[in-house]
Amino acid sequence: MQIARQDGLHYLYGICLSDCSIIRFAISHGESMKSHYETYKGWSVSVQVSAHLSRVDIDRKAADYIPRVVITEYKGNAFKDREIADGHSYPTPEKCIEHGIITARAYIDRGVSLM
């Protein structure tokens, strides 16, 4: 792993063990990375742009953004958090947040309790 600075962002570079491709994750330090918080059907929802990823072509200007989706269920005085995998990347932070919200709401709508 190696950290480098490019285009105002810090990047963590590594090698994907499954296919030996180079992976680049952006490490955010500012306004460029967005987040969203809401309450949906009594659950807390947090969606953040956790990183952006590009494989092999590390000089690519447009990055794919990956959402980090965390939901929290409350029952009485107890609560439980779960990170939900979206499984996709998106071309802009806004699309990333939008689809992260859809992922969280779809999970909650299935009625699966975390408790």
The CB density around residue 84, as the number of other CB atoms within 10 Å, is: 18
Q: What's the average model confidence in pLDDT over 4-33? A: 49
Q: What's the average model confidence in pLDDT over 6-23? A: 48
Domain that holds residue 10: 2-109
Closest by CA to 13, choosing from 49, 50, 57, is 57
Segment 33-81, tens digit of pLDDT:
678 999 999 899 999 987 655 454 455 555 688 899 999 998 888 999 9
Assess if residue 102 is contained within a domain. Answer: yes
Assess if residue 16 is contained within a domain. Answer: yes
Assess if residue 115 is contained within a domain. Answer: no
The Cα–Cα gap between 44 and 50 comes to 18
Total structural domains in the chain?
1
Segment 82-100, tens digit of pLDDT:
999 988 888 888 999 999 9
The Cα–Cα gap between 88 and 111 comes to 23
For residue 53, the model assigns a pLDDT of 55
User: What pTM was estimated for this model as a whole?
Assistant: 0.64
Give the number of C-alpha atoms closer than 13 A to the C-alpha of residue 30, restricted to the C-beta side.
6
Q: How much of the chain exceeds pLDDT 70, in percent? A: 59
Assess if residue 114 is contained within a domain. Answer: no
Going by pLDDT thresholds of 50, 70 and 90, the confidence category of residue 111 is confident
Assess if residue 14 is contained within a domain. Answer: yes
**At residue 105, does pLDDT exceed 90?**
yes
Rounded to a whole number, what is the distance in angstroms from the first to the last CA of the chain?
37
For residue 61, the model assigns a pLDDT of 56
Assess if residue 79 is contained within a domain. Answer: yes
The pair of three-digit structure tokens given for residue 43, joined into one six-digit string:
């659950």
Assess if residue 32 is contained within a domain. Answer: yes
Which residues face 27 on adjacent strands? 10
Asked if 72 and 83 count as a contact pair (C-beta separation under 8 A), the reply is: no
Assess if residue 31 is contained within a domain. Answer: yes
